[in-house]
Amino acid sequence: MKVEVIMPKMGESLQEGTILKWHKKPGDRVQKDEILLEISTDKVDTEIPSPASGILTEILYKENETVAVGTVIAYIETEAVTETTPKFVDVKPVEKVEEIKVVEKEIESPVLEEIPARAKRFYSPVVREIAKREGISIEELEKIPGTGHGGRLTKNDLLNYIETRKKKVEVKPIEFEEIKIEEAKPVSDPEGKVEIIEMSHVLKAMAEHMVRSVRTSPHVSAISECDMTEIMAFIEKNSDEFQKREGFKLTLTPFIADAVVRALKDFPMINSSVDGDKIIIKKFINLGIAVATDYGLIVPVVKNADEKNFIGLARAINDIVTRARAKKLTPDDVQGGTFSITNYGVFGNIIGTPIINQPQVAILGVGAVKKRPVVITRNDEDFIAIRSISFLTLTFDHRIIDGALGGRFLERVVYYLENFDFKGIV
């Protein structure tokens, strides 16, 4: 029998995916759950397993083509009756069509009503919603170049167009002699002394996100010293026993996460976002943990971190880090964060000024833990001692967080780390 390979829906708000790489070619045999292809969405790159065992007979869409969810992208010929969708994706093609139609009916917009039944190209519900919000007419929409399959307009195409349009401002003509500026020429190197590399989808998305963040929030950073001596000694003493019991290494990250959760409960304004002239304070804590992978930096999220004890945090962090590096994350795994942590100390860096992960209003950077001679005071006497010290950096949105609030929050994180309660960890 012929089994359809469907472009899966990897998140509630996602309506399309881009095929990055086919791991098989027509005529190849493939086993059920074997990696068949890799796809990219606006949020994350993901490996897609084969829905059945058999022969890959036909590939309908090539690499780098963008396809709507629910679309048949390939066929597998098999004699066995098998499940037609990956286990972790709840996708039914018929339901996809009905779902899209319902969404379109719910959107009432003059822009959408102007789109004829036989439009020149397909517009996804996401594109339609953005067009409605930005007041873009059908005539204007039709003129925007699309990079999707068959010239279809993607979400990123429309967002880039809107961003470019906002930058265009009227200027008065220059009265003096016109200044001639040499037009930028494409990079070329006949002697082969440069290498030109195409950005990956993840890198492009991250670059756009970082530029948008700097443009959105006035960034301010505060830095504090933190004495990690007791924590590092605890890790060294208990790492073997912890790994035997849990199956993964005990690292500094869950200690940082635990201290951050406690401090966020004390200073809820740090766990917020800005919507126009309104501040939205979140009553839940979703921690973003920056992870360096072979395909770029990604920030998966530990949901409801405030409901987890130390062991729960450690398990959740290990799970998302492992899946991030194995390309097993879904778009939902990287959405909904309320505060982020980035540990550039793993590369030996001692101080950094991280960029806020929008729409959050703060991010904590953790520097390398190094032994340093420091002055400590005990019984009103000063001593020089060797201690394990790390520099913590809090970058925050100065629109709603001033230096006093940011500084107090950072010092509270330091306090919880320097006075950590190790009960119940081993």
Q: Phi first, then psi: what are they for 12, rounded to 5°?
A: -60, -35
CATH number where 70 lies: 2.40.50.100
Say yes or no to pLDDT of 109 above 60.
no
Q: Are residues 24 and 68 in the same domain?
A: yes
Count: domains in the chain: 3
HSE of 372 in the Cβ direction (CA atoms, 13 Å)? 14
pLDDT at 189: 61
pLDDT at 333: 92
Distance CA 236, CA 231 (A): 9
Burial 153-191 (b: 16+ CB within 10 A, else e): bbbbbbbebeeeeeeeeeeeeeeeeeeeeeeeeeeeeee
Q: Is residue 268 part of a domain?
A: yes
Q: Which of 23, 209, 219, 398 is labelled catalytic?
A: 398
Q: Are residues 258 and 318 in the same domain?
A: yes
* Tally of residues, the chain: 426
Calculate mean pLDDT across residues 19-36: 91
- Identify whether the C-beta of residue 56 lies closer than 8 Å to the C-beta of residue 25: yes
pLDDT at 154: 79
Q: Is residue 398 part of a domain?
A: yes
- Identify whether the C-beta of residue 394 lies closer than 8 Å to the C-beta of residue 271: no
Say yes or no to pLDDT of 102 above 70.
no
Q: Which of 41, 61, 93 is the last residue of a domain?
A: 93
Q: Are residues 284 and 405 in the same domain?
A: yes
Confidence grade of residue 130 (pLDDT, cut at 50, 70, 90): confident
Q: Is residue 423 part of a domain?
A: no
Mean per-residue pLDDT of the chain: 84
> For a pLDDT cut of 90, what percent of the chain falls above it?
54
42 tagged catalytic = no
Distance CA 389, CA 374 (A): 9
Q: How far is CA 34 from CA 23, 29, 293, 345, in A?
A: 10, 10, 22, 36
* Domain that residue 50 falls in: 2-93
Taking only the tens place, the pLDDT of each residue in 61-75 is 999 888 888 899 999
339 or 294, which is more confident?
A: 339
pLDDT at 92: 42
Q: Is residue 67 part of a domain?
A: yes
> For a pLDDT cut of 70, what percent of the chain falls above it?
81
Q: Which of 28, 90, 240, 402 is labelled catalytic?
A: 402
Q: Are residues 393 and 309 in the same domain?
A: yes
Q: Phi first, then psi: what are they for 166, rounded to 5°?
A: -65, -30
Q: Is residue 102 part of a domain?
A: no
Q: Is residue 366 part of a domain?
A: yes
Q: Which of 44, 61, 93 is the last residue of a domain?
A: 93
Dihedral angle of Cα 75, 78, 80, 86, to the nearest 10 degrees: -40
398 tagged catalytic = yes
Distance CA 382, CA 155 (A): 61
Distance CA 146, CA 157 (A): 6
pLDDT at 187: 60
Q: Which of 127, 151, 167 is the last residue of a domain?
A: 167
Q: Are residues 16 and 155 in the same domain?
A: no
Burial 228-264 (b: 16+ CB within 10 A, else e): bbebbebbeeeeeebeeeeeeebbbbbbbbbbbbbbb
CATH number where 317 lies: 3.30.559.10
pLDDT at 420: 97
pLDDT at 149: 61
Q: Are residues 343 and 239 in the same domain?
A: yes
Q: Are residues 223 and 366 in the same domain?
A: yes
pLDDT at 43: 63
For the question of whether the overall pTM of this predicted structure is more than 0.75, the answer is no
pLDDT at 87: 44
Lowest-confidence range among 142-156, 177-191, 282-296, 366-380?
A: 177-191
Q: Is residue 24 part of a domain?
A: yes
Q: Are residues 271 and 236 in the same domain?
A: yes
Q: Are residues 87 and 155 in the same domain?
A: no
Q: Is residue 17 part of a domain?
A: yes
Q: Is 387 helix (H, G, I), strand (E, B) or coil?
A: strand
Confidence grade of residue 202 (pLDDT, cut at 50, 70, 90): confident
Taking only the tens place, the pLDDT of each residue in 388-426 is 999 999 999 999 999 999 999 999 999 999 999 999 898
Confidence grade of residue 41 (pLDDT, cut at 50, 70, 90): confident
pLDDT at 230: 97
Highest mean pLDDT among 146-150, 170-174, 201-205, 274-278: 274-278
Confidence grade of residue 103 (pLDDT, cut at 50, 70, 90): very low
pLDDT at 174: 44
Distance CA 99, CA 77 (A): 28
- Which of 255, 274, 201, 289 has the alpha carbon at shortest distance from 18? 201
Q: Are residues 22 and 59 in the same domain?
A: yes
Q: Are residues 244 and 366 in the same domain?
A: yes
CB within 8 A of 156, min separation 6: which ones? 42, 147, 208
Lowest-confidence range among 68-77, 102-111, 380-389?
A: 102-111
Q: Are residues 154 and 296 in the same domain?
A: no
> Residue 272 forms beta bridges with which residues?
281
